[in-house]
Every structure is written in C-alpha cells, then in structure tokens.
Amino acid sequence: MISTCIYNFVSTVPALRVVLLAAGLGALAGQPASADTPPRQIDLSRFPATRLEDVVVPLPSEVFNVLDKLGTPDWKGELRVPTIANRGPRPQIALLLGSVVAEGFVAVEAKDREQVKQIGRDVLELARAIGVEKTVLSRTNAILTKADASDWRGVRQELDGALTDVKNAMIELQDAQLAHLVSLGGWLRGTEVLTSIVEKSYSPDAADLLNQPDLLRYFQERLAGMPSRLRHNQLVSQVEKGLAEISPLINQKITPASVKRINEITGQVVRAISSNA
Amino acid sequence: MKRFFLIATLLLCASRAFGTVDDAIARAMEAIGPYVKQGYIVRDDEWGGDLGVKEQKAIPHTLFRGNDYWFCTGTDVDSAKIAIHVYDSRGKLVENDSWQKGHFAAARVSAPATGTYYIIVEVTSSPQERTHWAMVYAYK
C-alpha cells in the first residue's frame, strides 16, 4: 500500500527533509495562486471521499502549544519523576515509553533542565528495551544538547520526533500494535496532565481541549483489533477498561465533574503503567 | 562513458515520466516551506497514496482550538492539478485561507473548536490514471 510505503520516507531521511524545506522556503511564496471554489457544505452522510484508514493522532506538542496560550499553570507541580525500573513485557514498555515522552513535555514546560535530560536518557533506555534504540539515539542526544542550551522549543521538536521515529520503527518491524500502545501511553499521560490543569482552573475553552471523541474511538478500535495475546495482557485490559469509562464522559458536554473523573481514570491507568501491573 | 550517460539520461527521463511517491512528498514539503519562516512547526511525518482524477481522500484529524494549521499537498505529476480543503465534523468548510497552484495546494485553518476535522485532498485533473499525492502539515 502506497500510504504505508511513503509513511516513513522523510522521517527516516531527516537530512533530506531539511533540504526539501530549505528549497521550499520562498520558492512558492509570492507566486500567484488560484483559489478553487470548494463547496461550503458537504453531506457527511453521503461522504464523497474515501477515508484514509487511520485518523491522524496529534503530537503532544500540538496540545502543549495550546496550553501555552491558556496562562501559566504550575508545571513544576504537575511534573513527576518517571519510574522506568519496573519494566515488564513489551506492551508495558511501549505504554511507558509514550507516557515518559509526554512527561518530557511537562518537564519542558517546567523548564526543568535536569529532568528533561533524565527523560531523554529514559527514552533511550526504553527504546533499547524494545529494540529500537538506534532509531532514537540522535534524537535523545539532541534532547540533552538542546536542554543544556535551554532551547525548549527544540527539545519539544526532538521529543515529538522521538515519538514518531519509535512508532515508525515499530511499524517497520511489523509491530504496529506496539506503536499504537506508544501513542496511547502518551495520550493517557497527556490527558491526565491536561485534566489536572483544567480542573484547577476550569473554563469551557480549556475543557474544549478534551473534545476528542474520534481519537478516543480510534484508540479503542486499535485495542479491540489487537491479537488476543495482547488483549489478555493485564495492563492492556486495564487500559481498555479505562478508555471505556472515559468514552461517555468525552462524548457529552465536558463539565468540571467529568474533567475530575477523567483525571482520576487516567491517573490510575498511568500509575499502573509505571508500576509493572 | 557515452553509454553511461545515455543510460543515466534514460533512467532520469523514466523517473520524471512516471514520478514517484518521493516526488509527491518533495512537492508537499516545497509547498509548506514558506510557512516555516512564519513560525509554523512542521510535523515530521506525511500522509499520501494515489488517486484517480476527481477522486477524493479524506484524512480525519483532531485539531485543537487555539492552534493555527497549514495543510499542504503536492503531486508528482507536473501537469496535474490537486486541491486540499478542510471541513468540520458537520461538513462545513472551515478553512480561513486556501490556494491552489497546479501540482501544489494548501489550506489554512484556525480551529474554531477542538474536535475532528476532515482534510480532503482531490486530484482535480491529471494526464495519468493514478496520481501520487502527499500531504504534510504545520501548526503554531
């Protein structure tokens, strides 16, 4: 399938990507372009387009980019020191890897240089445990260098890149299920932090960030489609149960009470991920 | 030596004639380049495939209110035309800006609410039966 074939292309050739971006700079800007006239409204029940099989899972930095604009939460208060010593089977490592990367974003927001560097080392160790160490080595080195230089935006980009590279490497290794678990681990910890912040200073605008029902459904479908050996993993079952509890809360108006409940559920699941459940 | 150049030229012509997915990605990257200067962060990933003429592909994506996005697409076929537009989950066109220039197109959306949006790519004309396309996006 061509979609799959091209999926990794630029990600695995970062130098080429830089060249392509540089070539694009200014090349199209300022050139006359025509505006086609798309319909203002389409009937989604008679959708004219075939759907790409997967939804696009947003990067953590897309969420944190919005959180930056919502004020100045107590990021140091949100930050946790990840425990990666209690490692179990591969599904747990994948979930843990995702949640540790999400923790990296919290550490960046808290501008905690030492914690960011430790998380960079943790990401490398977890990647090694799952057999994709080489893929993230340059990313984790860059995280350390950029943290030393307080280049927080750069660290974010490297964390995003590490997440993408790990997932793509797993897909190449025919381990797409684990790649989904990495994304899910990141989403769970990210959602726990997001709900914690929204709960402390509730506003409809901030709560609107949780309006992700299709993304949640996507994760649920991925879990449901996993082979039974994975679905019967105790931790994966717990994650699946947690998502089932979150689903009705996200599929309605998001109130302060539902924010609190989502925070409790994600908190329990993230703790289980970190404690070799 | 002459023979080497002849073969190399033939190979180059063949690759231009048939195009590749790599070319489509390169075109999409070219289209998004100018927005990097404007502070947009390009996601290090891409989506794509091949489409027939007038065939559309919808890419569902959760966008966050407060973020501004540029979605750019490109195709490997020089004389093809491609379009990209963004709709919300009710089927309403929500993009704030868009442009189309032959084998490049782009659409910008400042998400009015957090939720699922559909990025719809269409090959509007092409001399080929199937045309490779690729999409990349950036946000700030």
pLDDT tens by residue, chain B, 140 residues: 444 444 444 444 444 445 678 899 999 999 999 999 999 999 988 999 999 999 999 999 999 999 999 999 999 999 999 999 999 999 999 999 999 998 999 999 999 999 999 999 999 999 999 999 999 999 99
Contacting residues for A154 by C-beta, under 8 A, at least 6 apart: A142, A146
User: Is A212 a member of any domain?
Assistant: yes
Nearest to B33 among A6, A27, A56 (CB): A27
Query: Check: CATH 2.60.120.380 for B19-139?
Result: yes
Domain coverage including residue A180: 61-274
Interface of B with A in 42-81 (CB under 8 A): 42-50, 55-67
Residue with tokens 């329990």: A268
**pLDDT at residue number A271:** 95
**Complex prediction ipTM:** 0.82
d(CA A26, CA B48): 24
User: Is A263 a member of any domain?
Assistant: yes
Domains: count for chain A: 1
User: Is A8 a member of any domain?
Assistant: no
**pLDDT at residue number B76:** 92
Stronger pLDDT, A37 or B108, i.e. the higher one: B108
**pLDDT at residue number B16:** 45
Above 80 in pLDDT, residue A29?
A: no
Neighbours of A110 (CB within 10 A): 17
Strands (E), B20-128: 41-42, 47-51, 56-63, 68-75, 81-88, 97-101, 104-110, 115-125
Interface of A with B in 213-242 (CB under 8 A): 213-215
Chain A residues closer than 8 Å to B34 by CB: 24-29
User: Is A208 a member of any domain?
Assistant: yes
Orientation of helix A152-172 relative to helix A60-68, angle to 10°: 160
Above 90 in pLDDT, residue A72?
A: no
Q: What does the mean pLDDT of chain A come to?
A: 85
Nearest to B66 among A11, A57, A66 (CB): A66
For the stretch A164-210, pLDDT in tens is 999 889 888 888 899 999 999 999 999 999 999 999 989 888 899 99
**pLDDT at residue number A69:** 82
User: Is A102 a member of any domain?
Assistant: yes
Contact: B30, A24; criterion CB under 8 Å = yes
Q: Can you give the C-alpha Rg of chain A in angstroms?
A: 19
Neighbours of B89 (CB within 10 A): 15
**pLDDT at residue number B15:** 45
Question: What global pTM score does this model have?
Answer: 0.84
* Confidence bin at A275 (pLDDT 50/70/90): confident
User: Is A106 a member of any domain?
Assistant: yes
Q: Residue B121 is which amino acid?
A: V
- Classified as helix, coil or strand, A163 is helix
Above 80 in pLDDT, residue A78?
A: yes
H/E stretch holding A240: helix A234-250
Neighbours of A226 (CB within 10 A): 19
Q: Residue A181 is which amino acid?
A: L
The answer to whether A275 touches A83, Cβ cutoff 8 Å, is yes
User: Is A231 a member of any domain?
Assistant: yes
* Confidence bin at A84 (pLDDT 50/70/90): confident
Chain B residues closer than 8 Å to A25 by CB: 33-34, 36-37
Domain ranges for chain B: 19-139
- CB contacts < 8 A (A, B): 198
**pLDDT at residue number A48:** 60
Q: Which of B37, B44, B76, B140 to mutate against chain A (most A CBs within 10 Å)?
A: B44
Above 80 in pLDDT, residue A20?
A: no
User: Is A27 a member of any domain?
Assistant: no
Q: Which of A18-22, A39-43, A245-249 has the highest mean pLDDT?
A: A245-249
